[in-house]
Every structure is written in structure tokens, then in C-alpha cells.
């Protein structure tokens, strides 16, 4: 059974509500024209909206640089600012984590994952985060073989990993 902490995304992306004062719409290598459609819809509604596009090849590096960058962006905004993002789940959850860290609440976020190709996974043994494609992967920090659990920390946007073999001693699963 899937944990309740794992987001369930609808097949079709719902449009953002015409709320708030200004928006930043993030197109995180999204499929189709969803982000552009959202941006256009908000602009037509008379809201000040900017569109930030991150191409697929740049996505991993963009996520790594996101915490300070998003904090800096938020510091130049005021209450009334809304954020929308669409793209693969790992990128959307990473952005959500940064947004919440900056002080935004769910009512100010409009997020949609259009696919789940990879997961950012936290290793409780070494603290590293690895971008994992499957259910089992090698930790980028300690090289242990980890199993991805159906549990997501929405505050960090990461799934939980643990050593694949339950009886393995620390360090044995290298």
C-alpha cells in the first residue's frame, strides 16, 4: 500500500486559480504546454506573472542550486506572491520544499507532477541525497545499496531510503 505521504497527482493538470497578486510559474522540463498555458491564463486574468523555464538537461543542476536561489527570489517578493510549478515529481517536490522553507504555504502553491521518472532519496546512514531511477540504487554518499520506501518528507521533498538487506550490518552492503 502506498504511504499517505506520497503525493497522488491527477492525470490532467488543474489550472491555477486567479488568486494572489503576482505569480512565478516554473516550467521544470514539463511535458506539453501546461506551464505556458498557466502563464497565459494568469496573465489574461490580469495578474502579474513571470515564466521561468528550466530545460531537461539543466534540471539536476538547477535543483542543486535551488535552495539559495529560491530564498533569494522569495526575499524580493511580498505576501500575495504565488508559485506554480509543473514537471517531474522530484523537481516539483524539491521546489515545494524550498518554497515552504521560504515561508510559503500550500494555499500559495500550485504544483503538478506530470511524471515520476526519478526520486530524490535521503540516505539515513550518511545523510546524502541521491537521484534514483528505480526502487534500488547505490547511495551517492556512502555507496550502500538502498531500497526506496513509499514515504516522502514534504519538508525536504525526498523519499526515504534504507539498506536493502534488513540484517546487513552498517557498512556491509557496500
Partner 1 sequence: MTGDDRLTVAAVEQTTVDVRSYVLTSHRPLRPYEPGSHLVVGLDGVRTCYSLTDDGTAPDAYRISVRRTGRGGLSDALHDTVRVGGQLSVSGPRSAFPPVPHARHHLFVAAGIGITPILSHLGAARRWGRSCSVVYGYRSGAAAHLELVRRLAGADLVEAPGRTALASAVAEAVERQPVGTHLYACGPRAVLDLVTDRCAAAGWPPERVHVEHFTAPDLDAGAPFEVLVRSSGRRLPVPAGVSLLEVLERDGVAVDHLCRTGVCGRCRIGVLAGTPEHRDLVLPAALRDAADRMYPCVSRAGTAELELDL
Nearer of residues 27 and 108 to partner 1, judged by Cβ:
108
Question: Interface with partner 1 includes 41 (CB under 8 A)?
Answer: no
Min dist CB 96 to partner 1, Å, is 14
Instruction: State how far the alpha carbon of 28 is from the alpha carbons of 55, 113, 121, 126, 163, in Å.
Output: 7, 10, 19, 29, 31
The only residue of 21, 31, 136, 174 in contact with partner 1, by rule CB under 8 A:
21
Tell me, residue by residue from 71 to 110, as one string, x for binding to partner 1 by CB under 8 A and - for no binding: ---xx-xxxxxx-------------------xxxx-xx--
Q: How far is CA 164 from the centre of its chain?
A: 25
How far is Cα of residue 22 from the mean position of the Cα atoms in its chain? 21
Q: Which three cell numbers stand for residue 152?
A: 516522502
19 belongs to the binding site for partner 1 (CB under 8 A): yes
Residue 103 Cβ vs partner 1, minimum distance, rounded to whole Å:
2
Based on CB atoms, which residue is closest to partner 1, 81 or 137? 81
Task: Give the nearer residue to partner 1 in terms of CB position, either 51 or 73.
Answer: 73
User: Cα(51)–Cα(36) distance, rounded to whole angstroms?
Assistant: 8
The 3-state DSSP class for residue 160 equals strand
Q: Does 119 bind partner 1 (CB under 8 A)?
A: no
- Taking the complex as a whole, the smallest distance from the CB of residue 71 to partner 1 amounts, in Å, to 10
Which CB atom, from 102 or from 143, has the smaller least distance to partner 1?
Answer: 102
Report residue 74 CA to chain centroid gap: 17
- The torsion angles phi and psi of 102, rounded to 5 degrees, stand at -80, -10
- C-beta of 30 vs 74, nearer to partner 1: 74
Helix axes 66-75, 89-101, angle to 10 degrees: 50
- Please, what is the Cα angle at 21 between 20 and 25, to 5 degrees? 80
Query: Site residues (CB under 8 A) for partner 1?
Result: 19-22, 74-75, 77-82, 102-105, 107-108
Amino acid at each position: 500500500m502506498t504511504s499517505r505521504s506520497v503525493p497522488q497527482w491527477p492525470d490532467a493538470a488543474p489550472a491555477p486559480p486567479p488568486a494572489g497578486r503576482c505569480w512565478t510559474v516554473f516550467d521544470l522540463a514539463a511535458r506539453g504546454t501546461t506551464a505556458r498555458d498557466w502563464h497565459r491564463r494568469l496573465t489574461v486574468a490580469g495578474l502579474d506573472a513571470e515564466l521561468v523555464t528550466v530545460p531537461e538537461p539543466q534540471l539536476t543542476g538547477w535543483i542543486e542550486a535551488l535552495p539559495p536561489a529560491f530564498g533569494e527570489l522569495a526575499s524580493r517578493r511580498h505576501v500575495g506572491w504565488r508559485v506554480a510549478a509543473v514537471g517531474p515529481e522530484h523537481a516539483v517536490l524539491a521546489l515545494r520544499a524550498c518554497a515552504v522553507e521560504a515561508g510559503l504555504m500550500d494555499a500559495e502553491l500550485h504544483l503538478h507532477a506530470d511524471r515520476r521518472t526519478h526520486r530524490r532519496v535521503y540516505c539515513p546512514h550518511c545523510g546524502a541525497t541521491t537521484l534514483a531511477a528505480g526502487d534500488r540504487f547505490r547511495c551517492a554518499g556512502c555507496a550502500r545499496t538502498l531500497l526506496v520506501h513509499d514515504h516522502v518528507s514534504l519538508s525536504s521533498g525526498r523519499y526515504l531510503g534504507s539498506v536493502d538487506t534488513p540484517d546487513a550490518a552498517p557498512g556491509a552492503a557496500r
